[in-house]
Structure 1
Amino acid sequence: MNRNIKILVIEDEGAIRNLISTALQTNGYKYEVASNGSSALSLLSTHQYDMVFVDLGLPDIDGVEIIRKYRTFSTTPIIVISARSNDDDKINALDEGADDYLTKPFNVEELLARVRSTLRRTQYLDNKQTEEEHIFTNGLLKIDYISQSVFVADEEIHLMPIEYNLLCLLAKNVGKVLTHQYILDKVWVNAIESDLSSLRVYLTSLRKKIEKKSHEKYIQTHIGVGYKMVRVTSTEEE
């Protein structure tokens, strides 16, 4: 049941890291571990996770800084695990984008309950968004998800299947930077490293098709990281 859920555990204390890892493995969750902030940021920028546990007291980078940086390109749920019990520390972590806060020492059953409740909430929000949003509009760009049609300035444009899937992925995450690896994982099947060059080719082609008629820049390149669709305010062609 949980085999497709992947969790990153960012924790420098070996005993706590092993405790969490064992609990996740026993309950069928996939997981990866990072013992410091640098390795954690590397994993976060190149892999997609369904949830992240982060300790605030890491040896090299404060956990709050990791949360702050991760939130610039991902909305993946974050649960803080920390010995810091001060309310100010909790509030600061939550304000920076954490979804929940678990104070050490903690009960394994409580940790697993937090995982389940967070995943349920995320799934509910994803399902609700899918049900309610059949049409996406951004400036002169419109996507009809039901008919799988794309229009620019009320004129339909024809996209290849991969181009359409790329556009939908960016549109459903408008304003967020999606890493190369995240896009490859979502759009390609069994993505390999060489597919990165294909991604660049398809993005270039997609850009030309949607920006030729609108003269608006919808897709931003974040060199070395990935791509982002920006919100365009114009509603009619000049």
Structure 2
Amino acid sequence: MNPSATVLVIDDEPQIRKFLRISLCSQGYRVVEAATGQEGLAQAALAQPDLVVLDLGLPDLDGQDVLRGLREWSDVPVMVLSVRASEVQKVDALDGGANDYVTKPFGIQEFLARVRALLRQPRGGSSVAGAGEPTVSVGLLTIDLAERRVTLAGATIELTRKEYSLLAQLARHPGRVVTQQQLLKDIWGPSHVHDTHYLRIVVGHLRQKLGDDPTAPRLIHTEVGVGYRLLAP
């Protein structure tokens, strides 16, 4: 047992949160609670928990979306706790970055054993670079990976889903080249790893919105024939 560990419980049912709080606190854990997906993502950035217990049926966001948002910047272990018992739901959650999946109703002793097992696992094995750093700033540009918000000189920049995904990928590796193939695979899927014109179009739109001159870039640098790099702070 790690009595100093912090567990974030994201569940919209007060009774479940109370039950888990009592059970976890009895084992010496510190418990942080959230009733919505947005609140959960904010608490994950604020409290920096050692483990997240995530319900999928949230009132504002689907739990799968919360999981994807969390994996944008954090490698914290996530245990999904849900009434959804189908194999498809489990596979989607595990493929989306969940470390464990428990269906409701559940036995509290098994739940606590799974908590202990997840907390024993070493951190840092995730492919998420910069895990634990939800905000990246380059000059006047700030990318808040937890809130999925981009600002330039304090003003919010409206980006499309693809534009944000590309910028977020670069922000997770500031100063390092991210290859064209990696970007295409992560954003468009493995069947599009040769469609480099997709990247040129999205990068062009990004530069326009960010006021970044491609002939003298201050933010996004092109490594010709290789990929792109967000200039290091």
Query: Cα distance 1:56–1:26, how it changes in 2: closer, same or farther (>3 A)?
Result: same
Match for residue 81 of structure 1?
A: 81
Q: How does 1:1-238 map to 2 (within 5 A)?
A: 2-122=2-122, 174=129, 176=131, 178-179=133-134, 222-224=142-144, 228-230=172-174, 231-232=176-177
Query: Cα distance 1:98–1:173, how it changes in 2: closer, same or farther (>3 A)?
Result: closer
Q: Deviations 1:54-89 (Å, cap 9, x if unpaired)?
A: 000111111000000100100100000000111111
Q: Deviations 1:190-238 (Å, cap 9, x if unpaired)?
A: xxxxxxxxxx8xx98xxxxxxxxxxxxxxxx64345974443489xxxx
Q: Is the 8 A contact 1:11 1:54 kept in 2?
A: yes
Query: Cα distance 1:119–1:176, how it changes in 2: closer, same or farther (>3 A)?
Result: closer
Following superposition, the deviation at residue 110 of structure 1 comes to: 0.6
| Cα distance between partner residues in 2 of 1:175 and 1:27 | 31
Query: Cα distance 1:56–1:15, how it changes in 2: closer, same or farther (>3 A)?
Result: same
Q: Is the 8 A contact 2:71 2:128 kept in 1?
A: no
TM-score by length of 1: 0.56
Following superposition, the deviation at residue 112 of structure 1 comes to: 0.5
| Cα distance between partner residues in 2 of 1:177 and 1:46 | 10
Query: Cα distance 1:228–1:89, how it changes in 2: closer, same or farther (>3 A)?
Result: closer
One-letter amino acid of the counterpart of residue 178, structure 1: E
| Cα distance between partner residues in 1 of 2:42 and 2:82 | 21
Instruction: Tell me the matched-pair count.
Output: 153
Structure 1 unaligned spans of 5+: 130-171, 184-199, 205-220
More helix by share: 1
SS across alignment from 1:64: helix
SS across alignment from 2:18: helix
Q: Deviations 1:96-130 (Å, cap 9, x if unpaired)?
A: 110000000001101100011111122xx66xx8x
Structure 2 unaligned spans of 5+: 147-170, 179-222, 224-233
Query: Cα distance 1:176–1:22, how it changes in 2: closer, same or farther (>3 A)?
Result: closer
Query: Cα distance 1:111–1:43, how it changes in 2: closer, same or farther (>3 A)?
Result: same
SS across alignment from 1:40: helix
Q: Is the 8 A contact 2:74 2:134 kept in 1?
A: no
One-letter amino acid of the counterpart of residue 223, structure 1: I
What RMSD, in angstroms, separates the aligned Cα atoms of the two structures? 2.9
| Cα distance between partner residues in 2 of 1:80 and 1:120 | 17
SS across alignment from 1:3: coil
Structure 1 stretches (4+) deviating beyond 6 angstroms?
none
| Cα distance between partner residues in 1 of 2:142 and 2:47 | 16
SS across alignment from 2:121: helix
**Identity of paired residues, percent?**
38
Q: Is the 8 A contact 2:83 2:103 kept in 1?
A: yes
